[in-house]
Amino acid sequence: METAIRVRDLRKTFRVPERDAGLAASVRSLVRRRYREVHAVAGVSVDVAPGEVVGFLGPNGAGKTTTLKMLSGLLVPTSGEVSVLGHEPSRREKAYLGRMTLVMGNRNQLQWDIPALDSFELNRAVYRIPEADFRRTRDELVELLEIGDLVRKPVRTLSLGERMKAEVAAALLHRPQVLFLDEPTIGLDIGAQKRLRGFVAEYNRRHGAAVLLTSHYMADVQALCPRVVVIDHGQVLFDGGLRELTARFSPHQTITVQLATPGADLSGYGTVVPADEGRVAVQVPKAQTSAVAARLLADHAVTDLTIEDPPIEDVIEQAFADRSAVAS
């Protein structure tokens, strides 16, 4: 497979000082400092093809952001191999930095006191973008992100959502071929999240850029990522499609029915779980879904029936809860 990102056995270990609480421990640490090794990333291997959008999922402290920082050249790996667009990121070659971008939800790339348009101009100079290309890309980004009215105001006067969209525009002016997006929708309202997701999808479609995205919002992942990499304790637990993730970690489906005559006891069909008023939901093993649904339809006057996989949040939670099973 042609790869935009190739990672093999990537590791990052931080050496952090530690001491017990209290004055005595403080004095002791003057003489002898104690350190602990934290294995933030412990052997990650992954390939991402050009134009592929991959969701990078995991709980806080799983190693997602550390991995992105190593892929973008911010951090030097302790060991392992990384190649992005044929470059070794830790060498921070200009040819590489000019072809990728890193967007962090809490990072402020724009100049605070001047309009975003002036910050865009700054990035034009940084990335040495020819004037005509710059204008074309800038206008396209402004249109796609619907920020025409905002880019002339000083950045400090923008709302978080407005500023984030302007940040994203600034980060993409040089048309990077690899996007590392770390929680790009954090803190945004639902509408702004949706627009930003639509924009990332459109950018990926138009420019064929590879995207590696971390997010705690499953809506981001479901909307953008046909493939997810689940990471915990610095190791990859799962790498595959969302549907496959659900199949692997959630062996159940939920059948929800609306009965013409409410009140029937459906506990004989599966585990009854909470449902909207007027409906009854039963959780059944996936392999038995069709048979149970058929029995329900045969035994009761059913006016409506739906079969659903569990929410992706629940699947992920299940994956982390059952880590040992996952690893096997």
Partner 1 sequence: MNGLPGLYSVVGRTAVQTQFQYRTSNYLFMLGMVAEPVVYLVVWQTVADAQGGAVQGITAGDFAAYYIVWTLVRNMNIVFTPYGWEDRIRRGELSGRLVQPVHPLHFDLAYFAGWKVVVVLLWVPIAAVLALLFRPTFDVSPVEVLVFLVAIWGAYLIRSMLLWVLGMVTFWTTRVSALYELYFTAELLLSGRLLPLALLPAWAATAADWLPFRYTFGYPIEVLAGDLTTAQLWGGLAAQAAWVAIGAGLVAVVWRFGVRRYSAVGN
* Piece in contact with partner 1 (CB under 8 A), picked from 28-36, 101-109, 213-221, 273-281: 101-109
Strand order of the sheet with strand 34-48? 34-48, 5-18, 79-84
Total interface residues for partner 1 by CB under 8 A: 33
What tokens were used for 207? Answer: 């420019």
Q: Which is nearer to partner 1, 73 or 270 (CB)?
A: 73
Cβ-contact 185, 191 below 8 angstroms = no
In whole angstroms, how close is the CB of 105 to partner 1 at the nearest point? 10
Task: Examine residue 94 and tell whether it contacts partner 1 (CB under 8 A).
Answer: yes
Q: Is 251 helix (H, G, I), strand (E, B) or coil?
A: coil
Q: How far apart are CA 191 and CA 174, in angstroms?
A: 26
3-class DSSP state for residue 52? coil
Shortest distance, CB of residue 327 to partner 1, whole angstroms? 28
Q: Describe the chain by its helix, strand, coil percentages, rounded to 5.
A: 40, 30, 30
Stretch of residues binding partner 1 (CB under 8 A), selected from 73-81, 195-203, 226-234, 288-296: 73-81
Q: Which one of residues 67, 109, 193, 246 is an interface residue with partner 1 (CB under 8 A)?
A: 109
Candidates 56-64, 117-125, 205-213, 239-247: pick the segment binding partner 1 (CB under 8 A).
117-125
168's CB contacts (< 8 A; 6+ apart) are: 103, 141, 145, 184, 196, 199
Nearer to partner 1, 105 or 270 (CB): 105
Based on the shown chain and the rule CB under 8 A, indicate whether residue 291 belongs to the binding site for partner 1. no
Which residues in 296-317 are b (16+ Cβ under 10 Å) and which e? Answer: beeebebeeeeeebbebeebbe
Q: Select from 104-112, 193-201, 262-270, 310-318 the region that touches partner 1 (CB under 8 A).
A: 104-112
Q: CA–CA separation, 196 vs 184, rounded Å?
A: 8
Nearer to partner 1, 44 or 230 (CB): 44
Candidates 25, 27, 126, 327: give the one binding partner 1 (CB under 8 A). 126
Query: Does 3 sit near partner 1 (CB under 8 A)?
Result: no
Kindly state whether residue 177 participates in binding partner 1, applying the rule CB under 8 A.
no
Spatial CA neighbour of 50 closest among 6, 92, 19, 102: 6
Enumerate residues 6+ apart whose C-beta is below 8 A from 16: 35, 36, 37, 38
The least distance separating partner 1 from the CB of residue 114, rounded to whole angstroms, comes to: 5
Which residues of the chain form contacts with partner 1 (CB under 8 A)? 14, 69, 72-76, 90, 92, 94-95, 97-98, 100-102, 104, 106-109, 111, 113-114, 118-119, 121-122, 124-128
